[in-house]
Chain A
Amino acid sequence: MKKDLLGIADLSCDEIYRILDTAEAMREIGGRTIKKVPTLRGKTVVNLFYEASTRTRTSFEIAEKRLSADTLSIAVATSSVQKGETLVDTAMNLEAMAPDMIVVRHASSGACHLMSRICRSRIINAGDGMHEHPTQALLDAFTIRQRKKRLDGLKVAIVGDLLHSRVLRSNVLLLTKLGAEVWVSGPPTLVPPGIDRFGVRVSTAVDEAVADADVIMMLRIQQERMQGAFFPSLREYFNVFGLTTERVKRAKRDVIIMHPGPMNRGVEIASEVADGPYSVILEQVANGVAVRMAVLYLLAGGVEEGSHAEAAA
């Protein structure tokens, strides 16, 4: 592994499979009475979250604790960031206390890349702006592989707010690397220009995108990132792009429905689909812990020759 996990873009297929295989072994630990192994004993992991998060932060914290790391979570609302401290200063101050790893979520794309250049600590990207969310894509791939036994050759339809989604970017990079056929769909105002260059098929007709799909992945309408009107109303959005029971019928009979959460029920997905038999949404959450344990374990080891942490060491 390289020093940091900043995005799927930096990972080779071998590294992705190594993470997924390691996560397979980590999953068993969650089923034990004593859900803890001593692997990261004495390592300090800081969770630095500049944006709201329940799932990702909890999932990282549980993963860190199951590996016996010492963890602390910084809630930015009560930190010196409110007094005007810059990201660089916060990073250098944290670095002075010599943690081993820092898990970062930030509203600006590239925030963790900046921290990666400043810090000797390993940086894990837990979502940076509209750029990447690598551990989400890895847990999605893990969940798909668990259900479908493979990733290559599957038709995966990703539907929703494509423009603002870091989950989309990481998933497109990962799924195309591993040979899946990826279709994306959403309102034209929310389709990022040039997305077809990532090797995906674009359609503004949801019915075409989900036809015969093995996997349907819904994305949240990210109103907090929307400046301007991208569609007339949430009700109209649901009617045209929402995932309903009727739309699910167009996909393969053993389709799985995914959503990275948090869900807007009745906006991008109907409640009966979210809670229905094809939904693997809660499996995604459960698998998140195992995948993050795998990432923490693999990053805690030695770095590849030639990477910049080795030069710094």
Chain B
Amino acid sequence: MARSLARIAHEILERNKSVEELALVGIRSRGVPLARRIAAIIRDISRHDVPTGALDITLYRDDLMRHAVGAQPVVRSTEIPFPITDKRILLVDDVLYTGRTIRAALDALIEFGRPKAIQLIVLVDRGHRELPIKADYVGKNLPTSLSESVQVHLTELDGRDEVEIQR
């Protein structure tokens, strides 16, 4: 995982000439620590602090209120403490699957301003897209079947770094 993130950080600096324009936004929950780790690696390489924010997409989900029974998903706070207009936003999530989370995140992000560009970073791309969405930086492509589930564990939240595939 560390090597994948280091490679992604290098790719980001290779593709984006001015580091000053960059900002990282992690999608809650596991995108947030991943974004912080990438920011730390970029700092080590370029001596530049990339601002980092957290985005909760619950209120933008397209599957809210589709179920007659059961509690609403928990809403957590969005913290983007910098203007995103004219920035190159690097959106970070752990697993890319149907693409619906990213669709919601794009909608949410655009309410904060008009970024110059949005690029997508994911640790794992497991396929099975339902929307025309593609990641710009991928830690690992992981072909899976629909019956499997992919769970990313991170030290910050789960006490260990691990990608788990469950049948």
Contacts and interface: CB of A to CB of B under 8 A. Distances in A.
Nearest to A100: B65
6 contacts: A25-B76, A32-B111, A33-B112, A33-B113, A298-B72, A303-B68
Interface string B101-121: 000000110011100000000
A297 B59 contact: yes
A109 interface: no
A38 B68 contact: no
A21 B74 contact: yes
Given A37-B60, A38-B60, A302 B70 contact: yes
Contacts of B64: 39, 300-301
B157 interface: no
A258 interface: no
Interface in B18-75: 56, 59-60, 64-65, 67-72, 74-75
B79 interface: yes
Contact of B107 (A28, A32, A38): A38
Nearest to A68: B59
Given A29-B59, A37-B108, A302-B71, 5 more contacts: A24-B77, A32-B111, A33-B113, A300-B72, A302-B68
A142 B1 CA distance: 40
A306 B40 CA distance: 49
Contacts of A301: 64-65, 67, 70-72
Interface of B: 56, 59-60, 64-65, 67-72, 74-79, 107-108, 111-113
Contact of B77 (A28, A297, A298, A313): A28
Nearest to A300: B65
A176 interface: no
B167 to A, nearest CB: 28
Contact of B59 (A1, A21, A24, A38): A38
Interface size class on chain A is 20 to 34
A275 to B, nearest CB: 31
A301 B111 CA distance: 24
Contacts of B59: 29, 37-39, 67, 297
Contacts of B70: 301-302
Interface string A274-313: 0000000000000000000010011011111100001001
A32 B107 CA distance: 14
- 6 residue pairs, one from A and one from B, having the closest CB atoms: A301-B72, A302-B70, A37-B59, A25-B75, A39-B59, A302-B69
A25 B75 CA distance: 6
A26 B107 contact: no
Contacts of B112: 32-34
A301 B67 CA distance: 7
Nearest to B107: A38
A303 B67 CA distance: 9
A22 interface: yes
Given A37-B59, A37-B60, A38-B60, A297 B75 contact: yes
A286 to B, nearest CB: 16
Interface in A76-123: none
A18 to B, nearest CB: 8
B60 A22 contact: no
A177 interface: no
A1 B65 CA distance: 13
B74 A22 contact: yes
A57 interface: no
A305 B60 contact: no
A36 interface: yes
Contacts of B69: 302-305, 310
